[in-house]
């Protein structure tokens, strides 16, 4: 983490003198999804629409700093799983995701450098560069579940006993967290003033509660007495639970693995500054 912060600070310092003449801004559109206790490893499963805005500072032909604000939602449902254990657990959730990120991009080919460097893709008219990125982001989430047609916020309900006297050692989780974005994509220069990029980026988080599922089942009587009947019901929706105490203390989620969320989509960015007034490739104007 310290190394990542050092790289980000160095890169931010590097663009101070060039940001005004070498930058681009534009919209993002795509999808978002999550990996966690209700979706163990299926990328793009139950993907939801996502939108946002990005602002990229060009440092040189290989490095750029991108700031972004993205909005999406994630969804998980045990009933959609092929795993009998998950199907019996019968939990579900949805959550909005607000993500503010700063990332360092590395282009494998020269692209948008200060001298207008380009690499031609064979005989195509377009110019391109595959890239990778890493950064840091602040995100917020708020898991909800449906009961009798109403979507209830799960964090205040303490579905695993958080915030109750009976489980005083379990604290409520924060709905604002830090994540580490890592991803890859490809950029296309479609005109002197416009770039098109496609990217996929996964966010490594430090919470296991994007889906409100992490540890063990709490005592439903204790939850009901402090949080109400709805909280008690949403804490244990198992299909084979014959008594109110059947699952107390049993595994509800896997607290050893934190959750991930991801964005994938396209960005259409418009170039700003005088350095973009004229672009060349091997001495020939585009």
Residue 126 has pLDDT above 70, yes or no: no
Distances in Å between the Cα of 152 and the Cα atoms of 92, 148, 225 are: 12, 10, 18
pTM of the predicted protein model: 0.84
Which residues sit opposite 152 in a β-bridge?
Answer: 145
Angle at 183 between CA 86 and CA 106, to 5 degrees: 170
What is the dihedral sign for C-alpha 157, 161, 146, 43?
positive
pLDDT digits (tens, 9 = 90+) for 32-60: 999 999 999 999 999 999 999 999 999 98
Q: How far apart are CA 140 and CA 173, in angstroms?
A: 12
Per-residue confidence at 119, pLDDT binned at 50, 70, 90? very low
Residue 276 has pLDDT above 70, yes or no: no
The pLDDT, as a whole number, for residue 22 is: 80
Residue 283 has pLDDT above 50, yes or no: no
- Domain ranges in the chain are 2-145+173-209+259-285
The pLDDT, as a whole number, for residue 114 is: 46
Phi-psi region of 44 (alpha: psi -120 to 50; beta: other; left: phi over 0): left
The pLDDT, as a whole number, for residue 285 is: 39
Q: What CATH number is given for 2-145+173-209+259-285 in this structure?
A: 2.40.160.20
Q: How many CB atoms lie within 10 A of CB 61?
A: 19
Angle at 96 between CA 223 and CA 231, to 5 degrees: 10
Per-residue confidence at 18, pLDDT binned at 50, 70, 90? very low
The pLDDT, as a whole number, for residue 130 is: 96
What is the residue-averaged pLDDT of the chain?
A: 86
Q: How far apart are CA 120 and CA 126, in angstroms?
A: 7
């Amino acid at each position: 983490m310290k190394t990542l912060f050092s790289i980000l600070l160095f890169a931010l310092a590097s663009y101070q003198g060039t940001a005004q003449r070498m930058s681009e801004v534009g919209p993002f559109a795509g999808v978002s999804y999550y990996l966690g206790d209700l979706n163990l490893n299926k990328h793009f499963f139950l993907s939801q629409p996502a939108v946002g805005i990005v602002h990229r500072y060009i440092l040189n032909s290989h490095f750029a700093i991108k700031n972004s604000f993205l909005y999406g939602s994630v969804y998980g449902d045990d009933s959609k799983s092929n795993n009998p254990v998950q199907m019996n657990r019968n939990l579900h959730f949805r959550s909005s995701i607000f993500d503010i990120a700063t990332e360092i991009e590395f282009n494998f080919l020269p692209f948008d450098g200060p001298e207008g460097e380009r690499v031609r893709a064979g005989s195509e008219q377009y110019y391109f560069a595959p890239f990778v990125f890493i950064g840091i982001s602040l995100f917020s989430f708020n898991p909800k579940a449906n009961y009798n047609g109403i979507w209830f916020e799960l964090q205040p309900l303490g579905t695993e006993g958080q915030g109750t006297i009976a489980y005083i050692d379990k604290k409520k989780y924060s709905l604002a967290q830090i994540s580490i974005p890592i991803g890859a994509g490809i950029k296309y220069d479609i005109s002197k003033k416009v770039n098109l990029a496609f990217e996929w980026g996964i966010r490594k988080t430090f919470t296991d509660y994007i889906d409100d599922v992490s540890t063990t089942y709490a005592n439903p009587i204790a939850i009901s007495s402090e949080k109400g009947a709805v909280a008690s019901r949403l804490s244990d929706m198992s299909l084979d639970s014959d008594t109110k105490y059947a699952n107390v203390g049993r595994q509800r989620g896997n607290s050893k693995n934190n959750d991930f969320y991801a964005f994938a989509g396209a960005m259409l960015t418009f170039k700003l500054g005088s350095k973009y007034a004229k672009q060349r490739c091997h001495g020939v104007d585009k």
